[in-house]
Amino acid sequence: MQAAVRHVVAVVQCDISWTGVVKADAEMHIGAHHGLQTPEMAADWHLAVGEGIGGKAASLQRTQKSSNYLHDSRRVPAKRLIDNEKIGSVLVSPLMAHDAALGVLYAADRRQRNWTSEDIDELESIADHLSVRLAQLDRVRLAEARASDARRRAEAADSHLTSAIELVELLSSASAVNHALDAVAVYLNARIELHDRHNSVIGASGPDRASCHGVEISSRLSPQSRLTVHLSCVDEDTTLTEPSARIALHALKLQLLRLCERSATIETLRGDLQEKLLTGNFTNSAHIQRRLALIGCSPIGSDARVIVIRARDQADQISERFHSDLRTTFPDYLVDHRDESTVVIIGNGGSEEELSLQIADLLGREEHRRKRKGTAEGSPGDSRRFVAGIGRRTEQLHEVSISYDEARAACTVGMSNPQTSIDGFASARALGLQGLASIPNAQLQAMVTDTFGPIIAHDERHGTHYMTTISSYLANDRHLGDTAAELHVHYNTVRNRIARIEELLDLSFARTDDRYRAETAVRMAAVLAARTTPTTAL
C-alpha cells in the first residue's frame, strides 16, 4: 500500500497521495500516505462512506475529481485537516473487491488542477492493482485467522481430552461414591449431589449451593436406576454441552452405577445389611440408610414392617415365582433366609389390613401353583402349607429388629393357630405379642415359669399336655367344644384338664385377672418359642 501511494505521486506527478481504508466502524482511515506535511492529517483523518468526495467515490464505486477543492459543494464542513495541508484539488478512485469497496486511493495537489483523462486512467489502473493485492492479503489474513483459530481450538480440545482422560482414570479407581463425586466436582467446578428417588441427598461434593450461579441439570444414572445426579455450576458462563463436560458427567454416572452394582452384589453375598437391621446391631442410622439407597431401596424407618414366612413341612421351599410376585407387590424390600424361614423387610408396608390382604394373596397364589403341579392336596379349607407372621410397623430404623422378633413370634404362634391355618398369616398385634418381643429371654422365661411352672413340670414328669390345652383353650375363647375339636380329644377330657390346670395353678379362668395373667404368659411363651427351641411346645 505504501508503494502504491509513492507510485501515484511519481506517475500522476501530484504533491500528495494517501489511501482511505474502510474499517469496522464503516468509516475510512488512512492506511498509507506520501507527501503529507502535518502529522495530524495522518493520525486523525477519517471519513464516513458516502460523505465528502472520497466517501462518495466509495459509495458510488467510481472515480471522483475536484479541480477547486476549497469551493467544492461535495466537501464536508469543517475539514480543518485538509485545509492545513493546503490541498487545492483531489482525484479519488475506489478500491474494489467483489463489488464491495475496500476503501479509496487519493491523488492531490496543493494547487488547483484540471485532472486529465490520462491522470484518471493512471490512478484507476494503480487502484485496480492495489485492490487485487488488498483482496489477496485479505484472503491470506482470513486464512491465517482461521488456521490460528483451528490451532487454538485443537489445542483446547487436546487439553480438555487430556483432562477428561485423567478424570476417567481417577474415577475408575474411585472405590467410594464420595470419592467419585469429589473428582467431578473439582473438574467441573460445580456442586454435585446424588439423590434417591425421594429426592433425598445421599451424597454430595463441591461448593455450597449458595455459591452456585450457573446452569443446573439433573440426570438419572440410567433409565432403570432410582438414583439421580444433580449438578449446579459455580460460574454463570460454564456450559455443559462441551464434549469434555459431557464425558465427565457420563463417566461419573457410569462409575456410580458400577459402585451401586458392586454394593448390591456385596450385600447379596454377605447379607451384612440385613443382619444389622434384623439384630439392631448398628449405631449409625444414616449410614444404613445410605447403604439401602445404593442398592436401590427406599429409606427404611417409618411404615416399615418385617414378615417371616415359614413352611409347615421343612421339605417345602418357596418358589422363584413367589419372589417375583413379592418384588412386584413390594418394590422396596429386602429378603433374607434364616434357618427354615424367609424374612422380608418391606420399606413401606402401609396399613396392617392392606398388608394382610396382600400377603394372603401372595400365599394363595403360591398354594394354587403347587396344587396345579400336584405338590399339594386337599380342599381350600385345609391348612396352608406356608404361614406368614407380621411384625409391628416401625417408626425408626432401630425398631426393625423389634418388628422382626414380633413377626417371628407371630409366625410360630400361627403355625398352631386355627385361623392362621386358613388365612395363612398371623399378626403380632392381633395376637397381642407387641411389646413382648423386646423383653429379654431370661425375663420372659421367669414370667412364664412363675405363671405356668406347676403344669410345665407336670407335663415333663407325666407326659400330659396341659400347656397345649391351656393355649388352645384361651385361643378358642374358653369354648370347650372348639378346643376339643382342635385337640382331637373328647369334650369331657378338655373339661377335666381345665379343672386340673386351675387346681395346679390356683386360679380360675372365670376371673378376669387370672385369665389376663394366663393369656399374657401364653404370649410370652410364644415369643420364647420363636427365639429358642423350648422343651415344651405350644
* CA distances, 243 to each of 146, 251, 391 (Å): 21, 12, 53
Give the residue from 301, 297, 307, 305 showing the smallest Cα distance to 395: 301
DSSP for 27-80, written as a single string:
EEEEEEEES---HHHHHH-EEETTSHHHHHHHHHTS-EEESSGGG-TTSPS--H
Using DSSP's 3-state secondary structure scheme, residue 313 falls into coil
**Amino acid letter, 48:** A
pLDDT at 380: 44
pLDDT at 532: 67
Give the residue from 430, 432, 428, 431 showing the smallest Cα distance to 404: 428
In tens digits, the chain (538 residues) has pLDDT values of 899 999 999 999 999 999 999 988 889 999 999 999 999 998 989 899 999 999 999 999 999 999 998 888 888 865 788 888 999 999 999 999 888 899 999 999 999 999 999 999 999 999 999 999 988 888 898 899 999 999 998 898 888 788 888 888 988 888 888 899 999 999 889 999 999 888 888 889 999 988 888 888 999 998 888 899 999 999 888 777 878 788 888 999 999 999 888 877 766 656 788 888 888 888 888 888 887 777 767 667 667 899 999 887 777 788 888 888 888 888 778 888 887 788 999 877 678 888 888 888 888 888 888 777 665 444 444 567 888 889 888 888 888 988 898 888 888 877 766 555 566 788 888 877 777 767 888 888 898 999 999 999 999 999 999 999 998 898 888 999 999 998 999 999 999 999 999 999 999 999 999 988 898 888 888 778 766 643 333 3
φ/ψ of residue 21, rounded to 5: -105, 130
b or e along 425-438 (b: 16 or more beta carbons within 10 Å of the residue's beta carbon)?
bbbbebbebbebbe
Q: What is the pTM of this model?
A: 0.52
- Answer for the pair 214, 189: CB distance below 8 angstroms, yes or no: no
Strand order in the sheet with 201-205: 201-205, 190-195, 228-233, 216-220
3-state secondary structure string across 144-200: HHHHHHHHHHHHHHHHHHHHHHHHHHHHHCCCCHHHHHHHHHHHHCEEEEEECCCCC
φ/ψ of residue 141, rounded to 5: -65, -40
* CA distances, 12 to each of 42, 109, 129, 222, 514 (Å): 21, 10, 15, 78, 137
- Cα 509 from Cα 528, distance rounded (Å): 23
* CA distances, 519 to each of 164, 388, 498, 528 (Å): 70, 22, 14, 14
- Answer for the pair 254, 217: CB distance below 8 angstroms, yes or no: no
pLDDT at 534: 38
∠256-262-267 over CA atoms, to 5°? 125
CB neighbour list of residue 255: distance below 8 Å, 6 or more residues apart: 171, 172, 174, 180
b or e along 219-251 (b: 16 or more beta carbons within 10 Å of the residue's beta carbon)?
eebeeeebbbbbbbbbeeebebeeebbebbbeb
pLDDT at 280: 87
- Cα 454 from Cα 507, distance rounded (Å): 12
pLDDT at 206: 92
- Answer for the pair 251, 259: CB distance below 8 angstroms, yes or no: no
- Cα 200 from Cα 68, distance rounded (Å): 86
Q: Which three cell numbers stand for residue 239?
A: 456450559
- Cα 436 from Cα 521, distance rounded (Å): 10
According to DSSP, residue 438 is labeled: G
Length of the chain: 538
What DSSP element (H or E) covers 10? helix 2-12
pLDDT at 535: 34
- Residue recorded with cell 407325666: 462
- Answer for the pair 231, 188: CB distance below 8 angstroms, yes or no: yes
Q: Which domains does the chain possess?
A: 1-142 (3.30.450.40), 177-264 (no CATH), 289-434 (3.30.70.270), 439-532 (1.10.10.2840)
- Cα 429 from Cα 392, distance rounded (Å): 7
pLDDT at 11: 95
Q: Roughly how many angstroms between the first and final C-alpha of the chain, as a whole number? A: 114
